[in-house]
């Protein structure tokens, strides 16, 4: 079964809109795990507009599944994850003012940066993943920089899915196979939801993990957090 990591950034966004500690990000993470999530994802950005750096420190003692921290490899970010030592770090090429992650790494242009950063992370015993598109050359070069996994950027899949499901998923199936043949684990995320997730999970080979935040937290407003997590887990169950 593909693992579900719940991105709790949106819970922090709601908290920050009012101040105080409602909703409680730490409690939400614990509840997500209790309701069946196999991982917790956070993406602390430089302006801390949702998840704060202190949240990451506070989450470490309570996350009992896989803790996945996403971010651009600034010095501040690297110092944070070296201190926290999550199970996985997912590197994204976002500029500081990006609204959300919207592109994958150019593993040719940024080969030296990625090679150095990944080696540093792995020296702390942290599994690394890099956000990437379906370009097969970029995936091949991802193996060269030493990453353990790639996370396929799935917004193009989500956009095309309503019109042509097969055409939407085909580049991702090919990319996942190429990554597997290059010795890389395969994760995926961005705009996956209850409508498109099962088709993706069934048709993309070697998929290990999906990270889902915005859609899942939005669905929880209607269905409740526990029920929503179960709905997503059913989408990932290929049995």
What's residue 95's pLDDT?
66
239 has pLDDT over 90: no
Closest listed residue to residue 165, CA positions, set 198, 132, 142: 198
103 has pLDDT over 90: no
Instruction: Read off the pLDDT of each residue in 125-151 and give the average, rounded to a whole number.
Output: 97
Beta bridge partners of 149: 129, 185
Structure tokens at 46: 């430089």
Q: Please, what is the average pLDDT of the chain?
A: 95
- Tens-place pLDDT, residues 7-16: 999 999 999 9
What's residue 238's pLDDT?
76
What's residue 94's pLDDT?
77
Q: Give the separation between CA 51 and CA 36, rounded to whole angstroms.
A: 22
Domains of the chain: total: 1
Contact 220, 15 (CB under 8 A): no
Contact 137, 167 (CB under 8 A): no
62 has pLDDT over 70: yes
What's residue 1's pLDDT?
85
What's residue 99's pLDDT?
53
100 has pLDDT over 70: no
176 lies in which domain range? 3-236
Statement: the pTM of the whole predicted model exceeds 0.75? yes
Q: Give the separation between CA 28 and CA 225, rounded to whole angstroms.
A: 9
134 has pLDDT over 90: yes
CATH of the domain at 103: 3.20.20.70
What's residue 126's pLDDT?
98
Instruction: Read off the pLDDT of each residue in 66-70 and give the average, rounded to a whole number.
Output: 98
Q: Which H or E run contains 220?
A: helix 214-223
Instruction: Read off the pLDDT of each residue in 53-58 and give the average, rounded to a whole number.
Output: 98
Question: Could you give the residue numbers annotated as active site?
Answer: 43, 70, 190
């Amino acid at each position: 079964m593909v693992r579900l990591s719940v991105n709790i950034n949106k819970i922090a966004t709601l908290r920050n809109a009012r101040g105080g500690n409602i909703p409680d990000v730490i409690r939400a993470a614990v509840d997500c795990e209790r309701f069946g999530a196999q991982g917790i994802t956070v993406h602390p950005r430089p302006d801390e507009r949702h998840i704060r750096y202190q949240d990451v420190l506070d989450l470490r003692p309570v996350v009992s599944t896989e803790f996945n921290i996403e971010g651009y490899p600034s010095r501040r970010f690297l110092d944070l994850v070296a201190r926290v030592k999550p199970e996985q770090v997912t590197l994204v090429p976002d500029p500081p003012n990006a609204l959300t992650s919207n592109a994958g790494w150019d593993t040719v242009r940024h080969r030296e940066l990625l090679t150095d950063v990944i080696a540093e992370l792995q020296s702390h015993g942290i599994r690394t993943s890099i956000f990437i598109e379906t370009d097969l050359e970029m995936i091949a070069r991802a193996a060269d920089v030493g990453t353990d996994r790639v996370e396929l950027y799935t917004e193009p899949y989500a956009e095309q899915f309503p019109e042509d499901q097969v055409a939407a998923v085909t580049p991702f199936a090919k990319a996942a196979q190429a990554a597997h043949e290059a010795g890389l684990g395969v994760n995926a995320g961005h705009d996956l939801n209850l409508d498109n997730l099962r088709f993706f999970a069934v048709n993309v080979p070697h998929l290990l993990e999906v990270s889902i935040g915005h859609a899942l937290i939005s669905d929880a407003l209607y269905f409740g957090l526990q029920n929503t997590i179960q709905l997503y887990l059913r989408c990932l169950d290929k049995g």
